[in-house]
Structures are given as C-alpha cells and as structure tokens.
Amino acid sequence: MHILIIHQAFASLNEPGGTRHHEFARLLTTRGHKVTVIASPVSYITGTSFKVEDDQAGGGDVTILRATVYDAHHKSFLHRILAFFSFMLSSFWVGLGVKNVDLVWGTSPPIFQGVTAWALARFKGAKFLFEVRDLWPQFAIAVGVLKNPILIFLSEWLERFLYRRADQVMVNSPGFLQPVTSRGAKRVKLIPNGADPSMFDPDDDGAAFRQSNQLTDKFVALYAGAHGMSNDLNVVLDAAGLLADEKNIQIVLLGDGKEKPALLTQAEKMNLSNVTFLPSVPKTEMAAALAGADACIAILKPLEEYKTTYPNKVFDYMAAGRPVVLAIDGVIREVVEAAACGIFAEPGNAVELADVIRRLAADSAQSRALGLKGRKYLEENFSRAVIGEKLVALLEDLVSSR
C-alpha cells in the first residue's frame, strides 16, 4: 500500500524533534509499503531550513516532499496560525501530485493539516487516518494561547468535524481515548508513544558529552525537549536557584523553542551558574546526551488537561536507563510508578522538584537502580518495535477494508 503522511513538523533521525513518524515510516517500508511524507521545509524546533541532502541522508526509503510555508511560527500566536494555514494549503497542492495513494495519514497538532489529509483522502478515494498527538484546541485554551470565543468555537467545530469523518482515529495516549470518543470519533485505536531501546546504551557513562560541556564530576539533571509555554521551565530555573549551594549538581536544559530567550534572560538575572543551556540535537545524538545525564527531567504546567499526556521524552529517558524526575501528573505518572523508574514532584512546585533532584544526587546507587528498572519496563511494554507492529496491522486492516 502507499501511505501519504501530512506532517508539518516531521523530523528524520538526523534532525532535532520527535521522530515517531520517521521510525514508523521506515518500519512500513521494510514491510514492502511505500511511504511519502509532505513536511515543512523549516524545522519546527530550530527554525532553520532543511536541505535536500538532509532528506536523502535521513529518509532512507521514505520519500520526503517539502511544501512552502510561512516562516515565522516562533514570533507570535498570529504568526504561528499563519504558518499553519500556509502549510495546510501548500501541502494540499503538493499532495495532489502524489499518485496511487491508499491511505492519507494526518496528524494533529497543528489540527489544520488534518483538513489537508481529509481533503486529499476524499479527492483520491483513499482512507483517512487522523492521529491525535495532543488534545487541540483544549490544550491551547488551557494554557491561555487561544482566548477568542469565536476562534474557540470554530476550532472545536473543526475538531469534531475531523473526528467524525476519519475512517480511523489514532491516539498516542490512553488519556485521549475518552475525550476523543466524546467528541464524535467512532473508530479509535491507541498506538502509544514509546522508544527504540536499540538507540540507547544504558551502560554508556556519557564521558564525551560531559567533557565537551564541562560537566565532569557533576550530578547532571537534564531536560531534553521543547522550550515552550507548556514546558514550565521557569520552575526548573527556580529549582536550580534552590540548589545553588549544591555545588556538585548541574541542571542542563537541552533544546530550543519560543521561550528559550526569556529563560536565558531569567537565568542570567538569577545568576544561575548551575544551569547549562545547550542547543537541540538530532535523534542520532540524543543517546550520547542522555548518557551524559544522571537523571532526566520531564515537566509540564500544572494543568488538568496535561494529565492525559504520554510525553515522548519520558520513554527516551527510560530507554537510556536514566531515572525520571517527573513533574507531570496523570497517565504518565502511572507508567513511571508501574516501572518504579523515577520520583514524582508536584507540577509547578519548585521546592519539590529541587528536593527530588537533591535526593537522587545523594544516592547514586538508587538513581542507577531506578534507571535500569525503567529500561527493563520499556523493553517489555513500550518498545517502538512492538508498538510499530501494532501500527502496521492497524494500517493494513484499514486499507484492506476499502
């Protein structure tokens, strides 16, 4: 079968960003299926342009097409919406030229590319798979980005429209099942986030990463991911302030995003010598970065809506065999507690976050044991290979029902 994926923020393994779709796409090609991806020519994480040679190096047997996009999504909410709409239109135009498609896979957020996927599927007589990676617009409303009542009404109408017209809705967290079903989705399947344990070595001591970033002889608590409104990294900086007297502890914030300049300014004002900011790295370099950590931080704002999420970074932390400092409640807390691979800190509470980091730094044996438990639990329950086989079966069944 020929699968067409519409994904503005698609990233291959040699690019910064989430690689769930690239890993799945490569798996599908090994099963004899053809995969074409329409993506933005601009990295959603860094804002830099992709090069043709990057796609050729990272794509493997996956065909990656780049659609024109308004390049200013980090400037403001309005600019971001313009970027989303520009991709919605340009990706439709590019998609018209892709022949003999059996299934069109749209993924949200941004939800507008779901419109492109639906329209192309109907135009081509293909099946429409709509993947929900977070509950937009609910998350945007909760965090205060989306406030206009008219825009909220239109966004919720569009959400229900796509749920009801999808031949299959796919979610990456069990916390999304009830909300999606209640808004009109009829066929819903959970294909959860996970990680590929073969990409990580839990026995790697990360010496090269530590040496190159002046982290030798430090207990490194590392956050890897987007620096956005939802990520609540100002709380991590507050926790770093509380840990200032712990000279052996260093907080590392690895990644990029709209809030990074403000975080750099805040850290400078607080005179935080125990915080290191590093740029985003491709997935191929993430194993080395996580190997250089003694513990890894996962954090979101203390909102009820975020209790439904399965953040990808937590599974990467587990695959790397590193203990999780978890400042997210809900379904991902259930995973971490079932795996006994980390310690929970109340979201939004810098004092608790600092205390958890301090406890792990004081007991290296406990930290190591927690990390290895996480690795074992991921191999048994959230390995990308096992999850990928479920995805392949889902897509094959969906297309065979045409």
**What local confidence, expressed as pLDDT, does residue 77 receive?**
64
Q: Look at residue 218 and give its three-state secondary structure.
A: coil
- Give percent of the chain with pLDDT exceeding 90: 81
Confidence of residue 15 (pLDDT cuts 50, 70, 90): confident
**What local confidence, expressed as pLDDT, does residue 76 receive?**
64
Q: What is the mean pLDDT of residues 333-337?
A: 98
- Inform me whether the pLDDT recorded for 34 exceeds 60: yes
In the predicted model, what is the mean pLDDT of the chain? 92
Q: pLDDT tens-digit profile of 59-77?
A: 568 999 999 887 765 556 6
Hey, what long-range contacts does 281-286 have (CB within 8 A, 24 or more apart)? 281/16, 281/254, 282/13, 282/14, 282/15, 282/16, 283/11, 283/13, 283/14, 283/15, 283/16, 283/17, 283/19, 283/199, 284/13, 284/14, 286/199, 286/224, 286/316
- Inform me whether the pLDDT recorded for 244 exceeds 60: yes
**What local confidence, expressed as pLDDT, does residue 59 receive?**
56
**What local confidence, expressed as pLDDT, does residue 57 receive?**
47
Q: pLDDT tens-digit profile of 169-226?
A: 999 999 999 999 999 999 999 999 999 999 999 999 999 999 999 999 999 999 999 9
Which helix (H) or strand (E) segment holds residue 321: the answer is none
Cα–Cα distance measured from residue 203 to residue 325, given in angstroms and rounded to the nearest whole number: 19
DSSP lists the bridge partners of residue 108 as 132
Q: pLDDT tens-digit profile of 250-284?
A: 999 999 988 999 999 999 999 999 999 999 999 99
- Inform me whether the pLDDT recorded for 96 exceeds 50: yes
Fold type of domain 197-381: Rossmann fold (3.40.50)
**What local confidence, expressed as pLDDT, does residue 353 receive?**
98
Domain 2-194+383-400 has CATH 3.30.9.30: no
Cα–Cα distance measured from residue 25 to residue 37, given in angstroms and rounded to the nearest whole number: 9
- Give percent of the chain with pLDDT exceeding 70: 94
Confidence of residue 146 (pLDDT cuts 50, 70, 90): confident
Assign residue 226 a region: left if phi > 0, alpha if psi is -120 to 50, beta otherwise?
A: beta
Q: pLDDT tens-digit profile of 337-378?
A: 999 999 999 999 999 999 999 999 999 999 999 999 999 999
Q: What is the mean pLDDT of residues 311-318?
A: 97
* For the chain, domain boundaries: 2-194+383-400, 197-381
Confidence of residue 402 (pLDDT cuts 50, 70, 90): low
**What local confidence, expressed as pLDDT, does residue 41 receive?**
83
Q: What is the mean pLDDT of residues 301-329?
A: 97
The yes-or-no answer to whether 2-194+383-400 and 197-381 have a common fold is yes
